[in-house]
Amino acid sequence: MSGYQFNKKQFKQEVAGNVKKLYRRTIEEASPKQVFQAVAYAVKDVIIDEWIATHREYEKQDAKTLYYLSMEFLMGRALGNNIINIRAVKEIREVLDELGFDLNVIEDQESDYALGNGGLGRLAACFLDSLASMGYPAYGCGIRYKYGLFKQKIENGYQVEIPDNWLKDGNPFEVRREEYAALIKFGGNVRVECDSSGRNHFIQENYQSVRAVPYDLPVVGYGNNVVNTLMVWDAEPVDTFNLDAFDKGEYNNAVEQENLAKTIVEVLYPNDNHYAGKELRLKQQYFFISASIQRAVGKYKAKHSDLHKLPDKVVFQLNDTHPTVAIPELMRILIDEEGFSWDDAWAVVTKCCAYTNHTVMAEALEKWPIELFSRLLPRIYQIVEEINRRFVEEVRRIYPGGEDKVRSMSIIYDGQVKMANLAVVGSFSVNGVAALHTEILKKRVLKDFYGMMPWKFNNKTNGITQRRFLLHGNELLADWVTGKIGDEWITDLPYIKKLALFAGDEKCQQEFRNIKYQNKLRLVRYIKENNGIDVDPRSLFDVQVKRLHEYKRQLLNILHVMYLYNMLKDDPDMDMVPRTFIFGAKAAAGYRIAKLTIKLINSVADVINNDPSIKGKIKVVFIEDYRVSNAELIYAAADLSEQISTASREGSGTSNMKLMLNGALTIGTMDGANVEIVEEVGRENAFIFGMSADEVIACETNNDYNPMDIFNNDQDIRRVLMQLINGSYAPENPELFRDIYNSLLNTRSTDKADTYFNLKDFRAYDEAQWQVDKAYRDEAWWAEAAILNVANSGKFSSDRTVRQYIDEIWHLDKVEVSL
């Protein structure tokens, strides 16, 4: 498969040489951190030739290229993944052994590239892995945040956010590309000039500008010599303290420009599924979009003379609405800089741009106040106004008197610029991220758009890369699978279906259980080292790891733990399978109730873990700083995957897929991609409970849910809720969890109560949990079901997702690279 031969001897010399060059030390004297750097540079040397060859090939074939525009790329660590994808794990492990180092320890020295919040950013990273591994030309385009997502410390049970200074030791894999720097303009005003032929020219004046400089990061394909590029933009001041500015008395402007450059890429906004509406965020968006579009157009023009044919060679995928300014920015470039007519420009733009929606949560929809938008991006705003004017005209033409349609679909309305509407109008494709989610978009959230332009709408169910989340994250299981069925699954996950043949085999079940046990031991060690908690590897590992959000209902999980604990207090001999409830979650820094939920989980953990009377039957662990690198350990060790969002609210979910791939069974609602997981694995191999999406929506529409009825009629639930406000878990401050109590019941009649139906689904959830308990006792059944989960995970590879994007949206040209 791979063209090159890995040369161990040379690699070893290079590592030692790098340590010497970088640190003036011998390899014996080097610290693990230094060895990491030395190894990373040596790996980069292998990659770099493939990287050059790949781009030469793309040029030669003049291949159509994807620009995946995303504010977030949650890449995790690079070294281990790169070693896997150049297929040199065994050799490099041996080299390091010979040098007296453990590859795992060396990998642990690298910071995660946490340039994302959660699912949306990780999806982008999985797509890049699949695109490179399948040999398709693609750039990831994003921001080189100086600080990625905060690191989480738990202090006294509370989340504390620590800045993530991930670049402090430098990044051995990145390459600065000064030669592609671009100028980005903000603010000022637009002057209109009419030329002799009567054509208007729009000139932005009195603006502030920053210089965008791209850094390239290699995205290594699996064993195919292909190396794609993640291009992340840094901001620099434009000729600092330029004398002209001083001369004109514009000292302040010069200083402001410097500040703008400094602040714009400073930090990733830590919100997930929530729009904050900060001016700096819009600046970030336009900054990386203008830079990326300029680069794409520039690259095209280097080879082609007719920009009208841009759609033949270039496609932009908008990862959520965050990059939507790409639409008016490309219009601006074509009209103002390339002399296109409006119609010609619009024809090009609407053939180049495609939009992915990731959520139906209303608070996640971006809407910018006109005042802010037009002040920051005056020319872009003019263009958006014109797009809107023409679009509204069209709506009125198709729906005479349809003012309700104008209201719901206008791009500018009520003093705001609605980015989702702009994204739909300016794109040729609009997709959701799971079948159910796409149906909800069509039937509800984007209903009027669907009615007017149904051809744009399509579904692309998410996926994950099996190379990181099985091959890298779970070596034992990966080797076992390969031993049973061969290694085709690595590049063609549906092959893993062959494992089903072994699911009923007693010996195989034994082997599988043993692997799970080893992985649990690895996680137990991690938890002991990082949390200081002792966990019984023989207990059932019940895992909920994802962003902390009310709709994901970590609260339902912990309320249920409180309920179980009550049962155990009443009857310490209660017959139950010992369980470890494992949580991992970051909460947005400003999301009060989410942060309080973390405190609640930790407070419950404190009480339960220190109560000998329950004989260790339940333990609760909150894993600090959940991130891509420790996620790999957690997935490998999980028995049960908690996917318990309020039905209709989770776009897709992807931890559900990663856990399934690692042999965990799902307990979940019929939401997001859970629906499709159950379709693949069979309802009998999962634990499905609770309200359906339709029931949730009907209940909201009819407004006929009153959680107080449940509180009044169900004494077990009432007891749990009272424990939120009677000091059971906060003796020093009984009021501590009052806000959670109120969110469930609310007493002040104006607020909604239990918006996410925790109490309404509680009994069904409990029942499902007892089915889990019962099922887990039957070791053979559980092992068989777990193996069947692995065997039926084939659909959920991001290779499949990307294949569908390519066939139905991107139409990229495949490229072969030989060295």
- Catalogue the active-site residues: 358, 546-547, 552, 654, 658
The residue among 214 and 270 lying less far from ligand GPK, judged by its C-beta, is: 270
Residues 133-192 that bind ligand GPK (CB under 6 A): none
Give the Cβ contact number of residue 393 at 10 Å: 11
Work out how close the CB of 164 gets to ligand GPK at its nearest, in angstroms, rounded to a whole number. Answer: 18
- For ligand GPK, which is the closer residue by CB, 44 or 468? 468
Among 273, 459, 519, 641, binds ligand GPK (CB under 6 A): 273
| Least distance to ligand GPK, CB of residue 366, Å | 10
**Which amino acid, residue 493?**
L
Q: Which is nearer to ligand GPK, 44 or 795 (CB)?
A: 795
Counting contacts by CB under 6 A, is residue 674 touching ligand GPK? no
Give the separation between CA 148 and CA 475, rounded to whole angstroms.
Answer: 28
Considering only residues 618 through 657, tell me which ones interact with ligand GPK, judged by CB under 6 A. Answer: 650-654
**Is residue 426 part of the contact set for ligand GPK (CB under 6 A)?**
no
Which residues does 468 contact at the CB level (< 8 Å), separation at least 6?
76, 81, 84, 126, 129, 632
Tell me if 672 contacts ligand GPK by CB under 6 A: yes
Task: Identify the bridge partners of residue 541 per DSSP, sorted by sequence position.
Answer: 580
The verdict on 364 binding ligand GPK (CB under 6 A) reads: yes
- What's the min distance (Å) between Cβ of 687 and ligand GPK? 20
- Paired tokens of 266: 């400073």
Residue 639: both structure tokens together = 């028995």
Residue 778: strand, helix, or coil: coil
Indicate the residue among 116 and 218 with the shorter CB distance to ligand GPK: 116
Which x/- pattern over 85-124 shows residues binding ligand GPK (rule: CB under 6 A)? --------------------------------xxxx--x-
Residue 34 binds ligand GPK (CB under 6 A): no
Cα 588 to Cα 131: distance, rounded to the nearest angstrom: 30
Binding track over 722-761 against ligand GPK, x by CB under 6 A: ----------------------------------------
Question: Which residue minimizes CB distance to ligand GPK?
Answer: 119
Number of shown-chain residues binding ligand GPK (CB under 6 A): 19
Which of 35, 92, 433, 503 is in the footprint of ligand GPK by CB under 6 A? 433
| Three-class secondary structure of residue 313 per DSSP | helix
Burial class (CB in 10 A: 0-12, 13-18, 19+), 742: middle
Beta strands in 65-207 (DSSP E): 65-69, 73-76, 113-115, 138-143, 151-155, 158-162, 175-176, 182-186, 189-194, 200-205
Q: Rounded CA gap, 122 and 74, in Å?
A: 5
Nearest distance from C-beta of residue 124 to ligand GPK, angstroms: 9
**272 lies in the site for ligand GPK, by CB under 6 A:** yes
Q: Which is nearer to ligand GPK, 151 or 358 (CB)?
A: 358
Beta carbon of residue 598, minimum distance to ligand GPK (angstroms, whole number): 18
Give the max Cα distance, the chain. 93
Would you give the binding string for ligand GPK spanning residues 565-584, x where CB under 6 A is met? --------------------
**Which is nearer to ligand GPK, 118 or 584 (by Cβ)?**
118
Distance in angstroms (rounded) separating the CA atoms of residues 330 and 539: 56
Query: Cβ atoms within 10 A of the Cβ of 529, count?
Result: 8
Residue 437 or 619: which CB sits closer to ligand GPK?
A: 437
| Binding track over 228-267 against ligand GPK, x by CB under 6 A | ----------------------------------------
Instruction: Lay out the site mask for ligand GPK across 485-524 (x = CB under 6 A, - = otherwise).
Output: ----------------------------------------
360 near ligand GPK, rule: CB under 6 A? no
Q: In this chain, which stretch among 35-43, 356-364, 571-579, 677-685 interacts with ligand GPK, using CB under 6 A?
A: 356-364
Work out how close the CB of 297 gets to ligand GPK at its nearest, in angstroms, rounded to a whole number: 28
Report the phi/psi class of residue 414: left, alpha or beta, with left for phi > 0 and alpha for psi in -120 to 50. left
Cβ contacts of residue 812 below 8 Å, gap of 6+?
63, 64, 65, 66, 136, 137, 138, 315, 806
Question: What one-character-per-residue DSSP string does 728-761 give?
Answer: SS-TT-TTTTHHHHHHHH--STTS-S-TT-HHHH
Residue 441 is classified by DSSP as I
Closest to ligand GPK by CB, 101 vs 626, is: 626
State which residue, 27 or 361, has the beta carbon closest to ligand GPK. Answer: 361
Where are the alpha helices (H) located in 304-402, listed in sequence order?
Answer: 310-313, 326-332, 342-352, 370-376, 378-398
Q: Give the one residue of 54, 225, 359, 798 binding ligand GPK; rule: CB under 6 A.
A: 359
Dihedral angle of Cα 330, 334, 338, 344, to the nearest 10 degrees: 160
Task: Lay out the site mask for ligand GPK across 289-328 (x = CB under 6 A, - = otherwise).
Answer: -------------------------------x--------
The least distance separating ligand GPK from the CB of residue 167, rounded to whole angstroms, comes to 23
Tokens of 480: 């076992």
CA distance 119 to 655: 8
The DSSP letter of residue 166 is T
Smallest distance, ligand GPK to C-beta of residue 493, A: 18
Contacts (Cβ under 8 Å, ≥6 apart) of 725: 734, 735, 737, 738, 741
Give buried/exposed letters for 59-91 (b at 16+ CB in 10 A, else e): eeeebbbbbbbbbbbbbbbbbbbbbbbbbbbeb
Rank residues 656 and 662 by Cβ distance to ligand GPK and give the closer one: 656
Chain centroid, CA 384 distance in Å: 29
Beta-carbon contacts of 158 under 8 Å, excluding residues fewer than 6 positions away, are: 595, 598, 599, 602
Rounded to a whole number of angstroms, the minimum distance from the CB of residue 653 to ligand GPK is 5
Which C-beta is closer to ligand GPK: that of 652 or that of 666? 652
Contact residues: ligand GPK, CB under 6 A: 117-120, 123, 272-273, 320, 358-359, 364, 433, 462, 650-654, 672
